[in-house]
Structure 1
């Protein structure tokens, strides 16, 4: 038996105590267990980008000046909250000047939207984040510009403009413009991709809509312009990397090899400026489509995994969740052994996880437990940790964060009237911090658990089938650390018989609720997680 540190012994003692006190009501047991899982800073094992990253929509996060719009100074004031949560990276949704609330139609690639602050504010934010061990990734939107961008404004007025080649043009009678597009990905429902220019026979290509004309990456001048933009934010401002929006649409859908090559070229250019520049790409597609991008974008979002976790917790059936995840990871590894599997539950383009599980707090907690114990480098969308709700349209999945009770909340944004995440439906973060059983403290415990475990951070995955369909079971192993992870996805206590091959896993590393173990029989409480080590 390996030597255990005091934290592990305390957890094991808690586990034994639960056996002796089986008559204690479940709420009390849960709270008693919860108080034992505190972080041990000396054991911290994760290292970004393998750590947890937190996605922020700046407009909704924290308003520092009372104008109703979240801003950079507001985010800076909440960096200690994020550090205490355990995140090691922040992904910021677009911050460039733009006429839209979401800012995905950029009009200036070298500045910050004035609603959010200034470049100096941003540099200060990055410095403060770095001092807390938090990396900063910014959304870089280069598949398209905004139609109000000076490049496009001049190009659309003058066919002889030097910026004309920055965009994709066709004559209105060109047969290709008469065809309806085909929806190939989850990132757009637009099928009319050729758009008119008033007073002209020219049409321009815009995959998403007419306010976002696609940039022409067949132009060497345009490609160099994009490299220049990337260099600016890495070297002049100090960001740690980029989240690349719409990465599969740089070239048309029938030119995937050109897409793959561009990102290889882009990465090579960025590494010349910053040797550890981090790139994570949005390729909203199945694993077979995603994999070839990994040569240029070693980190890619795992959309399949998010859907699979949601499906499993809703059905209370582990199914092929773990084995399919293993297959995807093996496939990705064959393309790039150093890939970063950017797992997540939902993001700013999807209904929030709490709404996807119909407001069931236990299922939302279980989704998080799966995310943080399965392999990957997890991303979490702001507000998931306090149980925010939201369903499309997009504004309503990007509602303001609820920090404190309304009358005390000097940070809450008011740019949109919330429909789903209100004071009646979401308990403020400040209140949840004082409640050991809150979803916020649930997130903190699981993030700390992961951060303190090399096996959960870096370990490979071995799926297990232990019988009951509601039990998701797997091994995570790395170097001399080997963990047996069991999740009960159901609302009933479930007994699991551990085979002789798992007999060595008898010491408790972690439990989210009190469970009992007798010889090889383990009883898991409803919606609970138990992690054993050998």
Structure 2
């Protein structure tokens, strides 16, 4: 099953705006009008970036969980989008942020919800990635837990088939177990797939098991394994690392036995019921064609190699048009992720 991963603001438009990090004009109605195009790519579903009211075009700086950002549309547009996707026999995936909000969000700005957030010893709010304007929720506070869970339930009731759980290593395991239980009680078939990536804010659920897994596998693999029994699955960064390593080493054949053996061994570390969603790149990583040093044959090889496994996989928008980035987004430059968030014009 292939899912087409869309950054709402950057899809189906030409870039006529000024500046690097502003809204460019993509919206839900525009995506809905291009479902023929998306299905012709072979997509079985769509994953959207967040659409709540936001302080930033990408949607991850939420200022209000009650409203849709007017740049993206309205609640009616969301409902029509879900219905339109389902009428075509496709699935739809929401991107849910439970780790933090923006400082303009009234939950933080009104000063009445002090216990809803995490605080440093010096009295400053704990911010995501150290950014004070992105206060982190105290997800073990029962009021916070219930508020965010209710927001997840609302998405269930609107018909979303799965959720990407942004920065899943931030909220506590206890929170995710509660969230999982409540959403599955209402909609058993929904898939809750976590973004478990890197060591920032990561804490092992079982320290001994984690240390043993660190000795046997990579650190990323050990982190992912901690979410077995907590979530329905993870976005498989371990797989993405393997594919990057393969193209860096110029492994040219799709039936490369060494790579196949490595991937199969990786998959066997997880229960069959734990879903590993595969991808080659996303909005936070270098375009895979960049990793291939511009070699489109290597990109095609990686796509075909990924298709063969019995796992959902995501194609990041623009891959079909040969999008790449000229410079590494991890070179320390401010707003470098803009290099992989180009506008895709379909007009």
The TM-score range, normalised by the shorter chain, is 0.7 to 0.9
1:76 aligned partner: 32
Match of residue 193 from structure 1 = none
Runs of 4+ in 1 over 3 A off after TM superposition: none
Q: 2:168 aligned with 1:247, yes or no?
A: yes
Provide the C-alpha distance between the structure 2 equivalents of 1:394 and 1:342, rounded to a whole number of angstroms: 22
SS in 1 for 2:315: strand
In the TM superposition, what are the counterparts of 1:110-509 in structure 2 within 5 Å?
110-155=66-111, 161=112, 163-172=113-122, 202-208=123-129, 209-235=131-157, 237-251=158-172, 259=173, 261-285=174-198, 286-317=220-251, 318=256, 320-333=258-271, 337-390=272-325, 391=327, 392=329, 393-403=336-346, 409=347
Which secondary structure state, in structure 1, belongs to the residue aligned with residue 164 of structure 2?
strand
User: Is the 8 Å Cα contact of residues 263 and 293 (structure 1) preserved in structure 2?
Assistant: no
Q: Once the 2 structures are TM-superposed, how far is the Cα of residue 171 of structure 1 from its aligned partner? A: 4.1
8 Å Cα contact 1:314-1:363 kept in structure 2: no
User: What SS does structure 1 have at the residue aligned with 2:128?
Assistant: coil
Q: Tell me, yes or no, if the aligned pair for 1:313 and 1:366 is still in contact at 8 Å.
A: no
Partner of 1:530: none
Partners of 1:326 and 1:262 in 2: how far apart? 32
Query: Shift in Å at residue 262 of structure 1?
Result: 2.5
CA distance in 1, matches of 2:262, 2:290: 25
Partner in structure 1 of residue 8 of structure 2: 58
Shift of 1:353: 0.8
Q: Which whole-Å CA distance do the structure 2 matches of 1:365 and 1:150 have between them? A: 46
TM-score, with structure 2 as normaliser: 0.84
Structure 1 alignment gaps of length 5 or more: 1-50, 156-160, 173-201, 252-258, 404-408, 410-534
Q: CA RMSD in A?
A: 1.8
CA distance in 2, matches of 1:342, 1:327: 16
The answer to whether the 8 Å contact 2:8/2:58 transfers is no
| Alignment equivalent of 2:45, drawn from 89, 92, 98 | 89
| 1:426 corresponding residue in structure 2 | none
**8 Å CA contact retained: 2:13, 2:345:** no
The number of aligned residues is 306
- Offset at residue 319 of structure 1 (A): 7.3
